[in-house]
Amino acid sequence: MTTAESDLARTRRARRIDRALAVRYPDARCELDFRDAFELLVATVLSAQTTDVRVNQTTPALFARYPSAAELAVADPEELEELLRPTGFFRAKAKAVTGLSQALVERFGGQVPGRQADLVTLPGVGRKTANVVLGHAFGVPGITTDTHVLRLSLRLGLTASEDPLQVERDLMALLPRRDWTAASDRLIFHGRRTCFARRPACGACPVAALCPSAGIGEVDPVRAAAMLKG
């Protein structure tokens, strides 16, 4: 008979998981390249349905041509679309970053606001994007509920929900506020490098002993180690 995990036990396990991931991924960070809050905001919007690597290959030319919200707000649509073509869905993304820049100019003087309440009023910006920007450009802790965080939180038994807002709340309750941004980065690194969606490398996982889903992937240590990325 399985005994239900208490809230205290889950909290302790969540923090042990985070400490173990901190050891495995001491360099965990946002993998989007940026120099300021505006560049991070635009890059995060562009990262939908593509990889951070592809975005990082695209944004240098984009920001060289349009270095501020004021300039991106009046960008030539065809020129902008061509710059964004490598990211996929380039027409929709061109409209998105243009509308976003226009809103920044009209409502915030061209500057990215440092409050979630303001960020989520911008077109195309939800809580996930807002937390990425706040955590990495402003130092305001937040949980980033991207696809990796959602998948791993469920696998690790840190939540019973697939709803991003509920997962965010569950992780916030389990982890110290100061660690929210870093813990999100570590989960994302783990999801990209070890705990893959289709076949996780369980035999090479640093938190297998703390994971209720351990064993759903490759359990042989040698074969699992060969699967690791990064």
Inter-CA distances, 211 with 112, 154, 206, Å: 39, 10, 10
How far is it, in rounded angstroms, from Cα 27 to Cα 19? 13
Tell me how far the alpha carbon of residue 57 is from its chain's centroid: 18
Which of the residues 18, 93, 146, 185 is marked catalytic? Answer: 146
How far is it, in rounded angstroms, from Cα 69 to Cα 109? 9
Which of the residues 18, 128, 179, 185 is marked catalytic? Answer: 128
93 is catalytic: no
128 is catalytic: yes
How far is it, in rounded angstroms, from Cα 167 to Cα 157? 11
Task: List the catalytic residues.
Answer: 128, 146
